[in-house]
Amino acid sequence: MPLNEALALAESQQLDLVEVSPTAVPPVCRIMDYGKFKYQQSKKLQEAKKKQSHVVVKEVKLRPKTDEHDLQFKIKHVRRFIEEGNKAKVTLVFRGREITHMEYGVRALERVASEIEDIAVIEMKPKMEGRSMFMIVAPKVKK
């Protein structure tokens, strides 16, 4: 129908004339309440956002000379983060001359990885960055 008739029809029903497909020949229009349509779209978007899961990366810091009990305590924290569904970043900070004995740091990170391998997977292997070494662990995917 011609544009003038469509506009008159929409106005008589107190609705809006909305162009749906401008590239079609002839262009396709629809008579609707545009405000209500936008409101419903925003509600659908909010509902979709509500169902999304946010992945948070929690961090635990260690030192190469961290004692056994303290290491177990930190591992317990990492376990809790993983069980909550978050990722964990285990950072090992070297100070002063500790950097000359990096094998202690690697050993500590391997220990953490072996303690949590039942519930987590190493997403990023231990990597050196400046004076710190870190690895990222993520929860295992449940089938």
Please give the full DSSP string across 15-81, using - where no structure is assigned.
-EEEEEETTSSSPEEEEE-HHHHHHHHHHHHHHHHHH-----EEEEEE-TT--HHHHHHHHHHHHHH
Pair 127, 95: CB distance under 8 Å: no
Q: pTM, whole model, 2 decimals?
A: 0.62
76-104, pLDDT tens digit by residue? Answer: 999 999 998 899 999 999 998 988 988 88
Percent of the chain with pLDDT over 90: 40
The end-to-end CA distance of the chain, in Å, is 55
Report d(CA 56, CA 109) in Å as an integer.
Answer: 21
Q: Quick one: pLDDT band at residue 54, thresholds 50, 70, 90?
A: confident
Report d(CA 101, CA 116) in Å as an integer.
Answer: 24
- The per-residue pLDDT for 52 is 78
Percent of the chain with pLDDT over 70: 99
Residue with tokens 């190469």: 64
Residues of the chain with CATH 3.30.110.10: 57-139
Residues of the chain with CATH 3.10.20.80: 3-51
What homologous superfamily does CATH list for 3-51? Answer: Translation initiation factor 3 (IF-3), N-terminal domain (3.10.20.80)
Class of domain 57-139: alpha beta
